[in-house]
Amino acid sequence: MPDQSLPKARTPEVPPRESKAAPAHEDISRRRLLGTAGATGLVLGTAGAAVGYAAAPSEAAAPLTSLGTDRAMFHGKHQPGITDGLQARGHVVAFDLAAGAGRKEAAALLRRWSQTARRLMAGEPSPHEDTDVARDAGPSSLTITFGFGHSFFARTGLEKQRPSALDPLPEFSSDHLDKNRSNGDLWVQIGANDALVAFHALRAIQKDAGRAAKVRWQMNGFNRSPGATSHPMTARNLMGQIDGTRNPKPSEPDFDQRIFVPEKGEPAWMANGSYAVVRRIRMLLDDWEKLSVRAQEDVIGRRKSDGAALSGGTETTAMDLEKTDVKGNLVVPINAHARITRPDQNGGAAMLRRPFSFHDGIDPDGVPDAGLLFICWQADPLRGFVPVQRKLDRGDALSQFIRHESSGLFAVPGGAAEGEYVGQKLLEG
């Protein structure tokens, strides 16, 4: 879990799509169906929310809260869900193409998926048998992101178009991988700030797959809800640590170079795309919580209270790797997680972390099945994720408290232009 911080959402580079005529029952945005359960519900608390839920739809209804109206753009230079802010709820799901399905079926599927994603992200019903799960909600910052796994290219006869950066990840000593919950032909990431909106999108994507593809694995995650803290701050993970302080930021001059494939990169269909490494990392919370706070801080290399480096300052103060205490010991231990994952300690290797926490119940022996759905983005995983993980493999103090249980690497092409679907340059090129 490299020690980096998530940037704020970027201003969309492509304007929203133009409106097209639609039947009256489809043209009504979900944002206009709630009635009064918006700002009024926040003032009145539980009673106000109940009244809003029961209210009839009205053309003059009060607007939703900003949480519901926030909208990400489907069309753009890059796919959504990469540089957008952390979302409160997430689903990641991998599909395998059905037996006999090939390039033609894959193209039709990506066309359906893109149409569905565009509509749902705009707060509109699914174009194919909408379930009404989220009809009362606005877009709620919904993002839907699509990627291709290594096996997809052989299944579709596109081996010559498979990027070398998509070569399988090497094995790591910390891996305890379940092959049934790893990799896949196709990958979809869904995020939203409302759980029903996120589930609605997951269900729509699954139904759209039809006979063309079947679910290989699916995982659910969450983050702190927007507005839950008095001011915006770096997220905490389930270990209670501020997690993500040194993420690269879009304001940095080399951000695009490190996170996105160049416009004239290879292969051409990956221009403005990125590579996602997805890892289910289980946290051994019972063992972790037996440590004192000071011992936990030594493992991470940062204060638990505010995320500042043990060498002093605030969360964003540069870590002093040479500072020692009165006994001559390094203040930031040599095997501290934050020391090992620093880009300047890894040849400049950088990745954009955009994870979700997960909790999938409690085992019969009382141990929580919980941890981090680690998702990171980079222009080339061989220069981003791999060197950092290899170094962590050799002596990270955190390794005895985590277990990597599944893994996947996916090529995520650039965003779809108006009138296009995601992956069109690959599938029709």
The residue ranges of every structural domain in the chain are: 42-427
- Supply the pLDDT for residue 377: 98
- Supply the pLDDT for residue 63: 53
Query: What residues does 373 pair with on adjacent strands?
Result: 280, 356
Inter-helix orientation angle 103-121/195-209, to 10°: 160
CA atoms within a 13 Å half-sphere pointing along the CA-CB vector of 120: 34
The values of phi and psi at residue 117, to 5°, are: -60, -45
Tokens 């440590």 -> residue = 291
Query: What residues does 353 pair with on adjacent strands?
Result: 376
CA atoms within a 13 Å half-sphere pointing along the CA-CB vector of 106: 30
Query: What residues does 410 pair with on adjacent strands?
Result: 149, 276
Query: What residues does 362 pair with on adjacent strands?
Result: 368
Provide the pLDDT confidence category of residue 25 given band limits of 50, 70 and 90: very low
Ordered DSSP codes for 381-424:
TTTTHHHHHHHHHTT-GGGGGEEEEEEEEEEEPPPPPTT--TTH
Residue 39, pLDDT above cutoff 60? no
Query: Would you call 243 a catalytic residue per the annotation?
Result: yes
Which amino acid, one-letter code, is at 131? T
What is the torsion angle, in degrees rounded to the nearest 10, for the CA atoms of residue 50, residue 54, residue 57 and residue 61? -30
Catalytic residue among 70, 130, 136, 243: 243
Q: Residue ranges of the alpha helices (H) in 237-312?
A: 255-259, 285-288, 293-300
What's the pLDDT tens digit per position in 130-167?
A: 999 999 999 999 999 999 999 999 999 999 999 999 99
The values of phi and psi at residue 340, to 5°, are: -65, -35
Euclidean distance between CA atoms 301 and 275, whole angstroms? 28
Residue 67, pLDDT above cutoff 50? yes
User: Which phi-psi region, left, alpha or beta, contains residue 282 (left: φ > 0; alpha: ψ -120 to 50)?
Assistant: beta
Contact in structure between 204 and 120 (CB atoms under 8 Å): yes
- Give the tokens for residue 215: 């679910």
Which amino acid, one-letter code, is at 385? F
Provide the pLDDT confidence category of residue 347 given band limits of 50, 70 and 90: confident
* Percent of the chain residues topping a pLDDT of 70: 85
Which CB contacts under 8 angstroms, 24+ apart, belong to 251-258? 251/7, 257/379, 258/350, 258/351, 258/378, 258/379, 258/384
Contact in structure between 353 and 4 (CB atoms under 8 Å): yes
Pairing of strands 143-149, 402-412: antiparallel
Q: What share of the chain is helix, strand, coil (3-state, %, to 5)?
A: 30, 20, 55
- Supply the pLDDT for residue 94: 98
- Give the tokens for residue 380: 């080339």
Contact in structure between 376 and 351 (CB atoms under 8 Å): yes
- Summarize the confidence of residues 13-29 as an average pLDDT: 41
Q: Angle at the Cα of 359 (from 91 to 402), degrees rounded to 5?
A: 105
Provide the pLDDT confidence category of residue 17 given band limits of 50, 70 and 90: very low
* Percent of the chain residues topping a pLDDT of 90: 78
**Secondary structure letter of residue 14 according to DSSP:** S
Query: What residues does 215 pair with on adjacent strands?
Result: 95
What is the torsion angle, in degrees rounded to the nearest 10, for the CA atoms of residue 120, residue 281, residue 216 and residue 274? 60
What's the pLDDT tens digit per position in 179-229?
A: 999 999 999 999 999 999 999 999 999 999 999 999 999 999 999 999 899
Q: Mean pLDDT in the chain?
A: 87
pTM of the entire predicted model: 0.85
- Summarize the confidence of residues 25-30 as an average pLDDT: 43
- Give the tokens for residue 53: 């839920």
- Supply the pLDDT for residue 61: 54
Q: Which residues contact 413 (CB under 8 A, 6 or more apart)?
A: 79, 146, 147, 148, 269, 270, 272, 273, 422, 423, 425, 426
Q: Which of 215-254 are b and which e, b meaning 16 or more Cβ less than 10 Å from the residue's Cβ?
A: ebbebbbbbeebeeeeeeebbbbbbebbbbbbbbeeeeee
Tokens 């289910």 -> residue = 280
